[in-house]
């Protein structure tokens, strides 16, 4: 074996070129990329040289260290976006080439059957050990390089997002390329947050993307417990189906959605709406998962921007009807069903499943608690009732 290894070492360049040709014919990443091709040739030469040297000098496979060219090849594969399986395939195919040629030459060099079997067994074990060791080191380097690049890309994306949201002038094509996101006509921004398993945030983002028919999602972490995202929606989402999906994959996540927006302005506006929807969702409270669309809470958001002022407004308009007890809450909700657009005693009776006379009795009690007729300041009364119904104890006495 040592003699054969020496002969191969003298013709190393030819062996490396033949192995490279063998790989090129079987792995598309080689022929389509000159830089990968050059590194593949260098990796072939350095790996074969290492194997031959270790065989000649009796160095065990456990002492294997991946050649520099092999590690650089792994880093470049990661940089090109090729998967780890594609990277390791070079070693599986290269192993096949080496063993096919080496075993054939062993058969021609050793006449004694027992010696041949021993040489085959020992070489097979050594080469397998070598490939296993190098593959592990190459995998580690590949993953480290991919992580480094992902971190750098994440920093670039976060900086670009901050610049766009801050209203800074950005080059649109460059920003779209850096973000991996098109400022299309139907961008939907969303926010996910949770105090539970952080992995649920990405699962929630995936559910949002599927619900809108989006193939890609731009995601930017906002600390360890929140995630901001944008997608280009193909169509509107079904809120009930999305909430059901959240219950399955992200039961501890809150989700806020902005309205669809176009261009860079829409990117900003939809995010601002999602942020405001989250604020309202946190004021309302309630169990997770929770889905809050800005369009459903836009009025509450506007009315509650100044919470102290909102509390004062509710007290001034409702008087004792702002008390936080079950009976008053029932009368307040009945009154809201009456004074709401398209409302009235009959509508309220149907919604609340009570008799119309019961509705009228509750309205009279509500007027007494308020200290004035429902005909007085009707717009302000409706706004106060909407606030009280949505935010409850946040604005009530």
Please tell me the distance from the alpha carbon of residue 12 to that of residue 18, in angstroms, as a whole number: 10
Quote the percentage of the chain above a pLDDT of 90. Answer: 88
Please tell me the distance from the alpha carbon of residue 25 to that of residue 274, in angstroms, as a whole number: 52
φ and ψ at residue 388, rounded to 5 degrees: -65, -40
Structure confidence by residue, pLDDT tens digits, 284-328: 988 888 999 999 999 999 999 999 999 999 999 999 999 999 999
Please tell me the distance from the alpha carbon of residue 58 to that of residue 56, in angstroms, as a whole number: 6
- Whether pLDDT at 2 is above 90: no
Query: 32: which DSSP letter?
Result: T
1 falls in which pLDDT band (50, 70, 90)? confident
- Tell me if residue 357 falls in helix, strand or coil: helix
Structure confidence by residue, pLDDT tens digits, 229-244: 999 999 999 999 999 9
Q: Which fold has domain 305-394?
A: Arc Repressor Mutant, subunit A (1.10.10)
203: CB partners within 8 A, 6+ apart: 249, 250, 253
> Average pLDDT of the chain?
94
- Mean pLDDT value of segment 371-397: 94
Please tell me the distance from the alpha carbon of residue 30 to that of residue 37, in angstroms, as a whole number: 5
CB 396 within 8 A of CB 314: yes
- Whether pLDDT at 223 is above 90: no
- Mean pLDDT value of segment 176-196: 95
Q: What is the DSSP string of 118-129?
A: HHHHHHHHHHHH
Quote the percentage of the chain above a pLDDT of 70. Answer: 100
pLDDT at 285: 87
The beta strands (E) that lie in the chain are given as 187-193, 217-221, 226-232, 254-257, 290-293
The dihedral sign for the CA sequence 264, 266, 269, 272: negative
- Number of CB atoms found within 10 A of residue 173's CB: 9
Structure confidence by residue, pLDDT tens digits, 347-378: 999 999 999 999 999 999 999 999 999 999 99
- Whether pLDDT at 342 is above 80: yes
Q: Is 67 left (phi over 0), alpha (psi -120 to 50) or beta?
A: beta
pTM of the model: 0.73
CATH number of this structure's domain 185-302, picked from the four choices 3.30.70, 3.10.450, 2.60.40, 1.10.3470: 3.30.70
Least confident of 93-97, 203-207, 286-290, 334-338: 286-290
CB 161 within 8 A of CB 189: no
Q: Can you read off the two tokens belonging to residue 18?
A: 């033949």
CB 382 within 8 A of CB 389: no
- Tell me if residue 257 falls in helix, strand or coil: strand
Please tell me the distance from the alpha carbon of residue 268 to that of residue 10, in angstroms, as a whole number: 65
Structure confidence by residue, pLDDT tens digits, 151-173: 998 898 999 999 999 999 999 99
| Tokens 């780890």, located at residue | 84
- Whether pLDDT at 251 is above 80: yes
| Nearest of 240, 188, 237 to residue 217 by alpha carbon | 188
């Amino acid at each position: 074996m040592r003699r054969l290894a020496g002969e191969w070492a003298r013709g190393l360049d030819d062996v490396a070129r033949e192995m490279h040709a063998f790989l090129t014919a079987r792995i598309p990443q080689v022929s389509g990329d000159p830089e990968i091709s050059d590194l593949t040739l260098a990796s072939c030469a350095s790996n074969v040289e290492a194997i031959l040297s270790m065989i000649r000098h009796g160095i065990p496979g456990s002492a294997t260290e991946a050649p520099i060219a092999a590690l650089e090849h792994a880093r470049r594969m990661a940089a090109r976006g090729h998967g780890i399986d594609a990277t390791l395939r070079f070693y599986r195919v290269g192993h096949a080439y080496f063993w096919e040629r080496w075993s054939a030459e062993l058969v021609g060099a050793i006449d004694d059957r027992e010696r041949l079997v021993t040489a085959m067994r020992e070489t097979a074990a050594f080469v397998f050990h070598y490939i296993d060791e190098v593959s592990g080191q190459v995998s580690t380097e590949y993953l480290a390089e991919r992580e480094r690049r992902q971190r750098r890309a994440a920093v670039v994306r976060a900086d670009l997002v901050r610049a766009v949201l801050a209203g800074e002038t950005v080059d649109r094509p460059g920003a779209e390329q850096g973000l991996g996101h098109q400022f299309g006509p139907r961008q939907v921004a969303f926010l996910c947050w949770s105090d539970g398993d952080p992995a649920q945030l990405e699962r929630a983002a995936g559910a949002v993307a599927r619900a809108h028919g989006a193939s890609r999602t731009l995601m930017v972490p906002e600390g360890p417990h929140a995630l901001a995202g944008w997608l280009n929606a193909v169509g509107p989402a079904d809120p009930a189906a999305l909430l059901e999906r959240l219950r399955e994959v992200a039961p501890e996540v809150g989700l806020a959605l902005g309205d669809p927006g176009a261009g860079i302005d829409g990117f900003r506006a939809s995010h601002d709406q999602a942020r405001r929807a989250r604020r309202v969702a946190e004021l309302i409270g309630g169990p997770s998962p929770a889905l809050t669309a800005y369009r459903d809470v836009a009025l509450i958001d506007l009315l509650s921007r100044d919470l102290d002022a909102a509390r004062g407004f509710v007290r001034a308009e409702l008087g004792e009807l702002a008390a936080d007890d079950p009976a008053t809450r029932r009368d307040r909700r009945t009154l809201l069903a009456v004074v709401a657009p398209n409302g009235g005693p009959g509508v309220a009776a149907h919604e609340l499943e009570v008799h119309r006379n019961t509705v009228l009795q509750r309205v009279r009690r509500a007027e007494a608690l308020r200290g004035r007729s429902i005909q007085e300041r009707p717009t302000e009364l409706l706004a106060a009732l909407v606030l009280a119904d949505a935010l409850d104890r946040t604005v009530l006495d």
